[in-house]
């Protein structure tokens, strides 16, 4: 499944959060899938794919990422429903201002913001940038965040929706987010896999958000806060959307989870496929710039 990307594997990175050496003994194997290995830092808890695709490899992978969206119409429709729920949580804390959506793809989420927001996006998929401009009239720049042309202290809100886990150097992007945010501005992560959940611990490489080509960093709200800098941001709010989302089937998901736990305990792990959607799998977290 992943063989075509093997040539793009980069070097093993030190821990992004605490800087633990790449070859240090304080990182344990958390999961393995073909030639991808996830390491968990025993010092801070971050899980990262090491080695992951290099920045060059990621650029290749995302060069026409929008087409994968168009190829899955059912998932597109579910995302559209989820966008409204993600915004409902956000609107409890901010309802107007200047917003930047980092890694905005075709502008699908950004277009859902109300008209009280002045909307900007940034994206590395040129076809997605064109779609955002042509379909929604959005100001989306074909640039890498951190190597961009935005003014400092310009935005009231910076959004990473389903993005931070994909980045080879998320610390660089988050330092840039701090620069472009106004004092008191908000940093919003949503549709972000949450390591601190039951399914991550039970399923590991069979977790339904395990995608080792794409999801190369797996955070909890705590490790994310450490990475963005506790002196730079305060935690404002967090939720773990599951009930009421378009992905939830409560009774079925519970039965699947309980059955899979039994299989794991009784040595029948090879019968388990993928984890179900479940509470805690995904997080939406808002931080406020100090």
Mean pLDDT of 3-7: 88
Q: What is the largest CA-CA distance in the chain?
A: 57
pLDDT digits (tens, 9 = 90+) for 119-146: 999 999 999 999 999 999 999 999 999 9
Q: Which residues pair with 135 in a beta bridge?
A: none
**Radius of gyration, alpha carbons of the chain:** 19
DSSP codes, 213-244: TT--EEB-HHHHHHHH-TTTEEEEEEE---TT
What is the C-alpha separation between 133 and 151, in angstroms, rounded?
A: 21
pLDDT band at 29 (very low <50, low <70, confident <90, very high): very high
Contact 2, 35 (CB under 8 A): yes
pLDDT digits (tens, 9 = 90+) for 234-250: 999 999 999 999 999 99
Domain ranges of the chain: 3-289
In this prediction, residue 225 carries a pLDDT of 97
Give the Cβ contact number of residue 289 at 10 Å.
Answer: 21
Which spans in the chain are helix H? 55-61, 65-70, 73-90, 126-136, 170-180, 198-203, 221-228, 250-265
What is the C-alpha separation between 80 and 166, in angstroms, rounded?
A: 21
- The pLDDT mean for the chain works out to 95
In this prediction, residue 20 carries a pLDDT of 79
What's the DSSP call for residue 286? Answer: E
- Cis geometry, peptide bond prior to residue 51 (ω within 30 degrees of 0): yes
- pLDDT of residue 183 exceeding 90, the answer is yes
Q: Report helix, strand or coil for 50.
A: coil
What is the C-alpha separation between 120 and 173, in angstroms, rounded?
A: 16
Phi and psi at 48, nearest 5°, equal -140, 145
Say what the pTM is.
0.96
pLDDT digits (tens, 9 = 90+) for 185-243: 999 999 999 999 999 999 999 999 999 999 999 999 999 999 999 999 999 999 999 99
pLDDT band at 23 (very low <50, low <70, confident <90, very high): low
Q: Give the tokens for residue 198.
A: 């039951």
pLDDT band at 1 (very low <50, low <70, confident <90, very high): low
How would you write 98-110 as a 3-class SS string?
Answer: EEEEECCCCCCCH
pLDDT digits (tens, 9 = 90+) for 147-182: 999 999 999 999 999 999 999 999 999 999 999 999
pLDDT digits (tens, 9 = 90+) for 41-91: 999 999 999 999 999 999 999 988 999 889 999 999 999 999 999 999 999
What is the C-alpha separation between 8 and 214, in angstroms, rounded?
A: 13
Percent of the chain scoring above 90 in pLDDT: 92
Distance set, CA 164 to CA 158, 189, 202, 272 (Å): 12, 8, 23, 28
Class of domain 3-289: alpha beta
What is the C-alpha separation between 181 and 201, in angstroms, rounded?
A: 35
Give the Cβ contact number of residue 190 at 10 Å.
Answer: 24
Q: Report helix, strand or coil for 27.
A: strand
């Amino acid at each position: 499944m992943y063989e075509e990307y093997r040539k793009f594997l980069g070097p093993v990175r030190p821990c992004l959060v605490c800087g633990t050496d790449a070859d240090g003994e304080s990182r344990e194997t958390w999961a393995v899938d073909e030639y991808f290995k996830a390491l968990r830092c025993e010092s801070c808890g971050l899980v990262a794919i090491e080695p992951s695709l290099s920045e060059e490899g990621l650029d290749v992978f995302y060069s026409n990422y929008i087409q994968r969206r168009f190829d899955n119409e059912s998932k597109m429709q579910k995302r559209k429903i989820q966008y409204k729920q993600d915004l409902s949580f956000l609107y409890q804390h901010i309802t107007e201002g200047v917003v930047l959506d980092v890694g905005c793809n075709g502008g699908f989420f950004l277009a859902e913001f109300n008209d009280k927001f002045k909307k900007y996006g940034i994206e590395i998929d040129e076809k997605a940038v064109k779609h955002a401009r042509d379909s929604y009239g959005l100001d989306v720049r074909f640039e890498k965040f951190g190597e961009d042309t935005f003014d400092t202290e310009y935005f009231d809100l910076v959004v990473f929706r389903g993005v931070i886990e994909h980045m080879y150097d998320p610390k660089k992007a988050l330092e840039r987010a701090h620069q472009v945010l106004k004092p008191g501005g908000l940093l919003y992560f949503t549709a972000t896999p949450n390591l601190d959940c039951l399914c991550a611990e039970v399923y590991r490489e069979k977790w339904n958000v395990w995608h080792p080509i794409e999801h190369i960093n797996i955070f909890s709200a705590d490790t994310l806060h450490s990475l963005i800098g506790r002196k730079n941001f305060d935690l404002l709010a967090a939720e773990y959307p599951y009930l009421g989302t378009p992905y939830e089937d409560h009774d079925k998901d519970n039965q699947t989870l309980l059955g899979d736990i039994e299989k794991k305990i009784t040595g029948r792990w090879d019968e388990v496929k993928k984890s179900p959607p479940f509470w805690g799998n995904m997080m939406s977290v808002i931080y406020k710039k100090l």
